Amino acid sequence: MLIISVIMPIISISLNDKILKDMDKLQRELGFTGRSEVIRTALRMLLADKKEMEKLSGIIDGIMLIIHDDDHSEAFSKIRHNNQEIIQTQVHNHLQSHKCMEILILKGDAEKVKRLSRELQTNRNIEYSKLMIT
């Protein structure tokens, strides 16, 4: 029997206690062999989303779901105002634990929608964002 060993570089990341606890729970519930496997799977999913996003062109319709702390409503509001030309409708709802959920109905140039999606995903004040193309 031939055993092939793959050497992978070791990296270090910082996670807050809540994310670490959630990751450990995910590992147990889904049967991952370790934390590294959870992170590798998450990165593969993010890379697949990026590839799909790169294919978008022309005028597109979509829905953006955003969750943020109530304390960060002003940060989200600035992003929303800078992207008014592609936002057709916005729904704002208060959730438990002082969180807000925003639903944006989008229509516009794919490049502008992609830019909005990237801006939300990389903003430290936004807890979650997901673009769904219709």
Strand partners, 100: 68, 94
Tens of pLDDT, residues 21-76: 999 999 999 999 999 999 999 999 999 999 999 999 999 999 999 999 999 888 89
Q: Is domain 58-133 classified as CATH 3.30.70.1150?
A: yes
Write down the pLDDT at residue 65: 97
β 99-109/87-95 pair status: antiparallel
Distance, CA of 113 to CA of 106 (rounded, Å): 8
Q: Is domain 17-53 classified as CATH 1.10.3860?
A: no
H or E segment and range at residue 95 = strand 87-95
Indicate the pLDDT class of residue 8, thresholds 50, 70 and 90.
confident
Instruction: List the chain domain ranges.
Output: 17-53, 58-133
Q: Is the pLDDT of residue 103 over 90?
A: yes
